[in-house]
Structure formats: structure tokens, C-alpha cells
Structure 1
Amino acid sequence: MKHNWIFTVLIPKVKFGFNSVKVLKHTLILTLLVINSLISASNVLIAQQVNISGRVTSNDGEPIIGATVFVKGTTLGTLTDINGRYQLNNIPSNATLVFSFVGMSSEEIDVNGRTVVDAVLTEETIGLEEVVVVGYGSQKKESVVGAISQLSTEEILNSPAANITQAISGKISDVITSQGSGTPGADNAKIYIRGRATFAGDGQPLVLVDGVEREFSQLAPDDIQSISILKDASATAVYGVRGANGVILVTTKRGHDRKPEVSLTTNWQIQMPTRLDTYLNSYQSVLLLEEALSNNNLPSQFSASDIEMYRKSSAGELSGVDAMLYPDVDWYKTILRRSAPAQRYNVNIQGGTQRMRYFASGEY
């Protein structure tokens, strides 16, 4: 590209003498230096702008249609055509081009003064190779169209609960767990998928452990490989009416073709209630009972002296036989402790050969 530069130099009107010639000489030199600097700067600016073209392809060499190509840090960009080619004009020679496409990893390539910049985009494989257990086997996560959620063994072990029904609480969407009893040993929680489907029946989902229908609450967390929750009709269709409330598929761990591997897991924790209920003492209970009897015009059950003795008992002023006749006992403090320790130990060994594989575990 040819540029014509026209400069006009204004020279002040002066009387020519020795000093005037000297000033004029300096003015001309300074003006020439400024003109030379402007021309050099313009040439540098012109040299920094380049036209870039190229082709965007996939790993197998196929052109990518509609890929985005833009200059990093700017809004200047374009899309590739049907042949995967693009063209960008007046791009800084030190710019960085960003290539992106849906389902593929983005690439950033420095121009470094080049006029042809090609890019190869790779598929975004994060999460696509995960295997999901379904009713008739297993599929890749990308090919599953039903509503299925999965819980891995790492997520299960992050919960300190020894019961699996409690360990999945709050970890899977659309799954609700409800524990209706605090009796020691009766810690199995009821599981509802997408709410309770019926009030007349049980409403519990179908649970299969390695394809066999059974309870899974007492399985050791270290023995479970994954838990899949089948929620909608398309995912549970293979089970018919038995899967009306959802299906829980539990897959246990298997041995592998490798040398024997021993794993030991220990867990020790201390449990304590976050909040305790507040109850009335014996004196307050007697007063409320007498008030209720009076409101219903019923005879009193306690005399004034008895009520006074209960007051003294609640205040800790009685002892001996009187304290036994007018008791005031907080059974929570008497029977239960403020905290309780819990511990769990699991050891397993796995391995195998090409002909035989094994996985054995024990838990306390």
C-alpha cells in the first residue's frame, strides 16, 4: 500500500541577519526530524496490522462449520464457513486468536506475525465417558435420556453416617429421606423419590442390590461402588408397576485383575444434639393441670399443701422421703448423655487373575 505524505512548513517572516539565519537553520532541522519521526511511526503502525486466514478442523480432519474465531480481549471476530475457513482483516500481528465451538475445547493461538493460522479443536469429554447403571445394564452418561441420578462411592464415604439411607440424604436431587424413630438400631430412613406418590400404600421405591431385591440400609459404605436413582417413567419402564415409586440400583464393588490390595478405613466421631426440647417441671405441670380442671368445673386433684411441696421440690428444697413423694426429675438429663461416641472400622481385600476375581470385606 502506497502512502503520499504532504507537509507544509510555515516559516516566520524575519529579517535575515547572522542570528536570523542561525534560527532558521535550527527550525528547518527540527522540522525535518519531526517529519522523519512521523513517517517512521506510520510505517511501524502499518506493519503491525495483518490479514489472517485459516481453517478450523476436528481431530479427524473434518471442517467445523460455524466455529467462533475472535481476537482475545476484543469484540472483533467471525465464524467459519461451510469449509471451516475464516478471514480476519487488520489484526495486530501480536494478537491472540481464540477458537471455540459447542461441545469442543477452546483453543488459544498466538499470531506472531503470521497470516495463516489453522486450528484443530478436540471434543470436550468431561462427564461424557461416565457410566450410568440403568435397568437393563449400563450406558454412557451421554446416551441416557431418562431422569437418572447417580451417587459414587467417594460421595458416600464423605458422609459419616453408618446407615446408607442416611448417607444419601441431601446428596441426590428429588430424593427425600425421613427418619421417624430415634430408637437405637432403628435408624433406617424412609426414602421417597419425587415426593410421596400415594398415602394409601407404602410409597417406597424398588431397591435392587446387584439385581437382587433386598434392603440396602445395612450395607457397608466401603462395599458400594455406585447408587443409581431411576426417577421418571422412561427410566423405570422395564420394571413395570413395581417401579411406579422409582427404582434404586445399588452396585457393589468387584475384584480386578491385579495383585491383592488391602484397604483399611477407620472412622471415629462424637455425636451430640444441636438443640434439646424444654419441658415443664413438676410444679408447673401441677399448676396447669389445676387450671385446666378449674376451667372445666372439675374437682381439684391436688391440695394447696401438695402444690407447695411440688414448688419446693422444683426449687431443690426437699430431700429424703419428701423428695421421693414429690419428685421433679428431668429424665433427659438422667438417662441420656450430652454426647455419644461412634466408631466404624472396615477392612477389605481385592484382587484377582484373568480366571478369578475376588473382593472380601469385614466391618465393625
Structure 2
Amino acid sequence: MEIYLSSTGRFTCPKPKILLGLKLTLVLMLSVFMPVSATVYAQRVTLSEDNVPLAKVLKEIRKQTGYDFFYNEALLQRAKRVSVHVQNVTLEEALEKSFAQQPFVYTIELKTVIIKEAKKAGSSSVVPPINVKGRVVDENNDPLPGATVLVKGTNKGASTNAQGTFTIPDVADDAILEISFVGYLNKEVKAAADLGTISLELNASNLEEVVVVGYGTQKKINLTGAVSVVSATELENRPVVNATQSLQGLVPGLNVNIGGNTKPGQSFNLNVRGMGNISGSDNPYVLVDGLEMSLADVNPNDIESISVLKDASASAIYGSRAAYGVILVTTKKGSAD
């Protein structure tokens, strides 16, 4: 093709034959590329399937259209079986028929169909955590300071203050709170922004339990001193051969530690509420059925109960020998059925 330039520097109009050639070239180019464009954006699909897996239908659609499918294999295993009959329809129509009543959604990106799990109704709304507050009281509506409030199944929680109130931030809206206090029955409540007043009930069975003290036996409800009791049931589940070992971790305030080199069945050192002197002679006073003897000489299987007296009330009964606490051991006795 020739382009003529006049002396003025402007283009002159080409000859009519040249214009005709340009028109013919344009027509030929359009006739070549239009079918290609049509096949890309107007894929036709024909399906005739009865009660077949969805994966088989997708494979047939891919074969006819050339479109790829992107999905999780485990996700597609939850698909329902498909029955679809379509004749010369578009890709979108074929997909709509195939995914009817399925728990999936799909999007088309370029030449790929992306399959995802459909969101359940209401699942998009996430309930934010709440700040929980409340007040724990006893049966007389008096505050219980030091009560433990825990979010069930977690280590998150708080203790009540002198007024019996507590606050726990960022708690799940559907969480359950466990409330406990020594001598009272545990209680569970559903979390709420304001729980108001929570009343705990006395554990009557524990209060009626008989405890061995220096001057005989007494009910827990009447005790004024610091006494801890270990029953035979708690001891029999411990695979030990020495009674001193069996007390480890069972009595609050009783320290059980190993002295020197260890060997099977050796005795452990005991002291109540920490070291009492620098000479190491701060062991508690041990009485077995009223007789002074070493706890290590008692067979753990013969023990019925152990009472540990930890405060000054022990010295009031046993004198200076009980300056570092008293351990009272009651052994098992025969009984008539």
C-alpha cells in the first residue's frame, strides 16, 4: 500500500482501489476471529445422567467445554447424587442444574470453575465475647470472698473479692462458668454480661464427716482449727510402699520432700507450713491410734484415715511436741457386717 505525501506535509486520500482492499481485509479478519470468540463465551453443553456422582457430571462438562474445576476432594464426597438432562445449553445453565440442592456454591474465574462449601444460614454473624460480672454469696446472702470462678474447659477465671464480686473479660457468649468454694457445692451457670447474685449451697455431707482430733472425734461443722483429712479411698489409688510418700500433694500446707539419695520405698521428709527451724528438726508429731511412732512404719494398706492438725490448736492439746503440727493416723479395724 502506498501513502502519498503532498508538498504541504499533509496526507492525501488513497486511491479507491486501496480503500476497497482495506475493507476486504477487515471483513476477512472479522470472519476469522468471531467464531473463536463465540466458542469461548458461549460454550454449549449436553448432558443426560441419572443418579450419578457429581464428580462424573463435572468430568463430562470439562470434556465438552474445556473448563477446569477447582475443589477439595473431601468436600465433594459430601455431594448428593445428581440426575440432570439438558440439551445444548450454556455452561452456566448446566452448572446451575448440576448444583441444584447441593451444599456448594461456585464461581467462574477465566477458564476455571471454583467450588466452595455453602455457608449455613446465620453462620456469618459472629457473636463478640462479653465481659462477665457477678456476685457470689452463701445461703445467708453473705459474700464469699475467695470463691473460684472458672470458664469451663479452660484455665481462664477469677476469684471473688471481699464483697464477693468478680469480673472476667472476653468470655464467649455460650460459655459455662464453674463456681466453687470450700465447704460448698459447686455450681455451673451460663455466661452473661451481668449474672447478678449467685448463691452457693452448703455441702452437708462434708460437714457431717467425722474428723479425728487430739481429744477424740468431731464433726467438721464444729471444727475451729485447721485440720485436713485424707481417707483410705484417696490412699489406695497410689502405688507406693511407704505411707510418707502417699501424702504427697494430698494435704494443703504439708510439704513432702526427698532428703539425700533416693531409693525404692524410702521415707520422705515432712513439715507443716514450711521450715520451722534451721536444724531440720521441724517434723510433725505422728500418732498412730494414739501411740507415738514413725509414719514410715505404717503399712499404707492398713490406714483408715489421716488427720493433719496444722495450727496452734495442736500445741494446746499435745504441748511442745506438737509445735510443728500433728499427724493422727487411724488404722482399719474389723467390723460386723
Q: TM-score range by the shorter chain?
A: 0.3 to 0.5
TM-score by structure 1 length?
A: 0.36
TM-score by structure 2 length?
A: 0.39
Q: Looking at both structures, which has the greater relative contact order when contacts are Cα pairs under 8 Å and sequence separation is at least 6?
A: 1
